């Protein structure tokens, strides 16, 4: 089965000995990272344009005393933040950034005419531009262009009282969507996902596609992270799935949807570690998801949907509900699993009303379900990034800023260590009435099974390879407490459907000090411990490989849970909090809660 038919058309995959892989299957429309650029001649300096009179100066940069963050005042729609005295230094306003005044009433002052008219209609009185008086002869139009209304004649009357006009400078560097004729799509990085368009012919899904824009991080300090962080591949069509299927179609098979980690900033579903061959061998379809990272996915903005990366994941699940049966999967038996940031996304689905009914089970590996930011906490990063770039702290302000510039600026911003993730990432899920009304640890949970756990020495990943001393970075603070809170809440609401583990196998990397750190369980879950880059004195698994029996047993437990909801040990309950300690010897414990 190399070719399957989806709602967008047929897809041809890559056939291998034990599996068929469908690469870069789109579940949402492309993401464009640029503002439109003019294709017609630049307007005359006398041509009416949107006013910038009321725009908050995008160059304002404020620094609050005793704060590591440059901050700026939040927009009116953002929750107010307590601010100490602020000293402002104003920079010149950006003439290409229109005022955030109320929307224009139709007809707009910049209404485009399909062809020159003998007498251009007057501009609506409520608009913020000068009315266009009749002109004897409209200027000629280039073939195919969509010109503005003709500019005022020399004898035109004065502007209507109360209107505010600003001449558009010649050849602006940044243009807002809709202001000028364009040949490129608008910036869609900060909008909600939309379905992928149909396409004619057969889609070639035999090779990996683009990945979300992200900083390339092949190492963390001295630790080799190449099995987790493949080099990024540019391109707008990165909201895609990689689907690993058994080579022969039988009855509908269980589906595992895996969400990669990376601190909401890095990673992709096509990393070598997430090879789905072992799951396909067990009769399970593996689906990995590329979702928006960094500012496009997670920057909290008053004029854009919150948690856009989470919306991408929900869009992927909706696409799978409608299409996975074509690949041999069972849409009624979907398990969503994730590690680190991906685990937080997986558990956030438990509290996202729109996601309910799209999955049957959840696996949380080394996440923190309680680490949900308030809008005020999230806005600190928005304000700091806007100040660093000299733009307004809104989606409109960031529109047109290149992805590379967003990524570089984020790397220059100091991170707060008082947040729920202790400064290891600038981003996280944000409380929002539409997408995430409450943290999963405080929500009414849907009737799904849960497998949740952490590694014994999670924090070592952030400390050992970097020789960092950070007493606030502890395994309990980062991942332990939040995971335990969700296990307790789930066991209370859904008795008998919660299972918990602790992964304790210690890597001998860095002279044995890396231990059971963050990420070390992943090669066991995917049975990919043979990946060469995992082994070495400064690699994730260290110089001493684990036993094949431990790898096989760990992978089998995950496969069993995905298929049946039972990993093979007693459920975690509020009365008896059973936890399976996974090491060369497996031990069922009942730790004091």
Q: Residue 150: is its pLDDT beyond 60?
A: no
- Average pLDDT (98-102) is 38
What are the pLDDT digits (tens) for 534-576? 999 999 999 999 999 999 999 999 999 999 999 999 999 999 9
Q: Does residue 137 have a pLDDT over 80?
A: no
pLDDT at residue 127, rounded to an integer: 35
356 vs 139, residue with greater confidence? 356
Element at 337 (helix H, strand E):
strand 329-339
Task: Provide the pLDDT for residue 592.
Answer: 72
Segment 456-510, tens digit of pLDDT: 999 999 999 999 988 889 999 999 999 999 999 999 999 999 999 999 999 999 9
Residue of 78 and 233 predicted with greater confidence:
233
In this predicted structure, the answer to whether residue 143 has a pLDDT above a threshold of 70 is no
Query: Is the bond into 83 cis (omega within 30 degrees of 0)?
Result: no
CA distances from 237 to 23, 99, 245, 329, 570 (A): 12, 31, 22, 24, 43
For the record, the structure tokens of 41 come out as 């001649």
Proportion of the chain in helix, strand, coil states, percent, rounded to 5: 20, 15, 60
Spatial CB neighbours of 411, under 8 Å, sequence gap ≥ 6: 215
Residues contacting 143, CB < 8 A, separation 6+ = none
When computed from its CA atoms, the radius of gyration of the chain, rounded to whole angstroms, is: 27
Beta carbons within 10 angstroms of residue 504's beta carbon: 20
- Quickly list DSSP for 141-209: --TT--PPPPPPPTTPPPPPTT----PPPSS-SS--TTTS-BSSPPP-TTS---PPPP-SS-EEESS--
pLDDT by residue (tens digit) across 348-375?
999 999 999 999 999 999 999 999 999 9
Tokens for 356, please give them.
């309910």
Of 8-22, 140-154, 317-331, the least confident: 140-154
pLDDT over 70 at 42, yes or no? no
Residue 34 is predicted with a pLDDT of 64
Per-residue pLDDT at 230 exceeds 50: yes
Residue 182: its pLDDT value, please? Answer: 45
| CA 8 from centroid of its chain's CA atoms | 23
Instruction: Give 225's pLDDT tier (boundaries 50, 70, 90).
Output: very high
Report how far residue 29's alpha carbon sits from residue 261's, in angstroms, rounded to the nearest whole number.
23
Which of the residues are catalytic?
340, 458, 518
pLDDT score of 291: 98
Between the alpha carbon of residue 427 and those of residues 202, 309, 341, 375, 436, the distances in Å are 38, 11, 10, 12, 15
3-class DSSP string for 374-417: CHHHHHHHHHHHHHHHCCCCCHHHHCCCCHHHHHHHHCCCCCCC
Task: State the DSSP H helix or E strand holding residue 336, giving kind and residue range, or none if neither.
Answer: strand 329-339
Average pLDDT, the chain: 81
DSSP, res 542: B
Asked whether residue 205 carries a pLDDT value surpassing 60, the answer given is: yes
pLDDT attached to residue 491: 98
10 Å Cβ neighbour count for 203?
A: 19
Residue 54 has pLDDT above 70, yes or no: no
- Report residue 184's pLDDT band, with 50, 70 and 90 as the boundaries: low
Please report the pLDDT score of residue 2 as a whole number.
84
**What is the structure's pLDDT at 422?**
87
304 within 8 A of 191, measured Cβ to Cβ: yes
pLDDT at 367: 98
Q: In the structure, what pLDDT confidence band is assigned to residue 33 with cuts at 50, 70 and 90?
A: confident
In this prediction, residue 397 carries a pLDDT of 97
Nearest to 96 by CA among 201, 13, 167: 167
DSSP helix/strand/coil, 81:
coil
Rounded Cα distance between 549 and 127, Å, is: 73
Asked whether the predicted pLDDT for residue 41 surpasses 60, the reply is: no
How far apart are the two ends of the chain, measured CA to CA in Å? Answer: 49
pLDDT interval class at 23 (50, 70, 90) = very high
Q: Would you say 120 and 150 are in contact if contact means Cβ atoms under 8 Å apart?
A: yes
Q: Which tokens go with 315?
A: 């869009």
Round to whole Å and give the CA distance between 485 and 482: 5
Residue 100 has pLDDT above 90, yes or no: no
Q: Are 257 and 284 in contact (CB under 8 A)?
A: no
- Determine the Cα–Cα distance for residues 554 and 556; give it in Å rounded to an integer: 5
Q: CA-to-CA distance for 48 and 105, rounded, in angstroms? A: 16
Helices within 299-402 (DSSP H only): 308-323, 341-348, 375-389, 395-398
Count of all residues that appear for the chain in the document: 593
Which among 291, 287, 362 is positioned nearest to 330, based on CA atoms? 287
Global pTM value: 0.77
Residue 82's pLDDT is what? 40
> Which pair of structure tokens corresponds to residue 317?
């699940």
Residue 271 scores a pLDDT above 90: yes
Cα–Cα distance, 361 to 468 (Å, whole number) = 37
Q: What is the pLDDT of residues 411-467, one digit of tens each?
A: 999 988 888 888 899 999 999 999 999 999 999 999 999 999 999 999 999 999 999
298-340: pLDDT as tens digits: 999 999 999 999 999 999 999 999 999 999 999 999 999 999 9
Distance of CA 514 to the CA centre of its chain: 29
Report how far residue 456's alpha carbon sits from residue 95's, in angstroms, rounded to the nearest whole number: 54
Please name each of the domains of the chain with its CATH number.
174-589 (3.40.50.1820)
- 303 near 394, Cβ under 8 Å? yes
pLDDT (0 to 100) of residue 568:
98
């Amino acid at each position: 089965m190399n070719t399957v038919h989806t709602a967008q058309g047929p897809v041809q995959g890559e056939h291998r000995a034990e599996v068929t892989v469908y690469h870069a299957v789109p579940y949402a429309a492309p993401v464009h990272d640029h503002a439109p650029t003019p294709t017609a001649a630049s307007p005359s300096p006398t041509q009416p344009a949107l006013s910038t009179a009321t725009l908050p100066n995008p160059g304002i940069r404020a620094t609050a005393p005793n704060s590591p963050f440059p901050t700026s005042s939040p927009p009116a729609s953002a929750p107010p933040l307590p601010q100490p005295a602020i000293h402002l230094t104003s920079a010149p306003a950006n003439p290409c950034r229109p005022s955030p005044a109320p929307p224009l009433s139709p007809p707009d002052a910049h209404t485009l005419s399909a062809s020159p008219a003998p007498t251009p209609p007057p501009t609506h009185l409520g608009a913020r531009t000068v009315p266009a008086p009749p002109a004897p002869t409209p200027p000629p139009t280039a073939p195919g262009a969509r010109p503005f209304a003709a500019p005022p004649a020399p004898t035109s009357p004065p502007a209507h009282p109360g209107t505010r006009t600003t001449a558009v400078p010649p050849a602006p560097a940044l243009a807002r969507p809709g202001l000028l004729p364009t040949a490129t799509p608008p910036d869609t990085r900060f909008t909600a996902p939309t379905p992928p368009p149909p396409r004619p012919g057969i889609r070639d899904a035999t090779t990996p596609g683009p990945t979300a824009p992200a900083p390339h991080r092949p190492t963390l300090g001295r630790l080799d992270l190449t099995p987790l962080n493949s080099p990024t591949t540019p391109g707008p069509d990165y909201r895609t799935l990689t689907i690993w299927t058994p080579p022969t179609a039988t009855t509908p098979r269980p589906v595992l949807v895996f969400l990669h980690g990376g601190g909401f900033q890095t990673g992709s579903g096509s990393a070598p570690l997430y090879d789905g061959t072992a799951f396909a061998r067990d009769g399970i379809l593996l689906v990995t998801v590329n979702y928006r990272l960094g500012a496009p996915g997670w920057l909290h903005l008053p004029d854009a949907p919150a948690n856009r990366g989470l919306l991408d994941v929900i869009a992927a699940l909706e696409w799978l509900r409608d299409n996975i049966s074509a690949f041999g999967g069972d849409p009624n038996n979907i398990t969503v699993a994730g590690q680190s940031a991906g685990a937080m996304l997986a558990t956030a689905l438990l509290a996202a009303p729109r996601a309910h009914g799209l999955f049957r089970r959840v696996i949380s590996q080394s996440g923190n379900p309680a680490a949900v930011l308030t809008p005020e906490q999230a806005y600190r990063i928005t304000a700091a990034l806007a100040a660093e770039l000299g733009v307004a702290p809104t989606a409109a302000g960031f529109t047109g800023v290149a992805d590379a510039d967003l990524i570089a600026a984020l790397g220059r911003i100091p991170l707060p260590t008082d947040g729920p993730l202790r400064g290891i990432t600038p981003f996280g899920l944000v409380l929002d009435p539409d997408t995430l009304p409450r943290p999963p640890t405080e929500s009414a949970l849907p009737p799904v099974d849960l497998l949740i756990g952490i590694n014994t020495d999670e924090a070592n990943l952030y400390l050992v390879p970097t020789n960092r001393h950070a007493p606030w970075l502890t395994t309990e603070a980062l991942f332990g407490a939040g995971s335990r809170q969700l296990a307790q809440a789930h066991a209370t609401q859904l008795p008998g459907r919660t299972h918990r583990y602790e992964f304790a196998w210690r890597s001998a990397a860095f002279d044995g000090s890396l231990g059971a750190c963050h990420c070390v369980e992943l090669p066991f879950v995917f049975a990919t411990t043979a990946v060469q880059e995992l082994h070495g004195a400064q690699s994730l698994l260290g110089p001493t490989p684990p036993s094949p029996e431990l790898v096989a047993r760990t992978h089998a437990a995950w496969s069993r849970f995905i298929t049946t909801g039972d990993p093979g040990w007693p459920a975690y309950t509020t009365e008896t909090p059973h936890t399976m300690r996974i090491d060369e010897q497996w031990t069922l414990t009942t730790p004091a809660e």
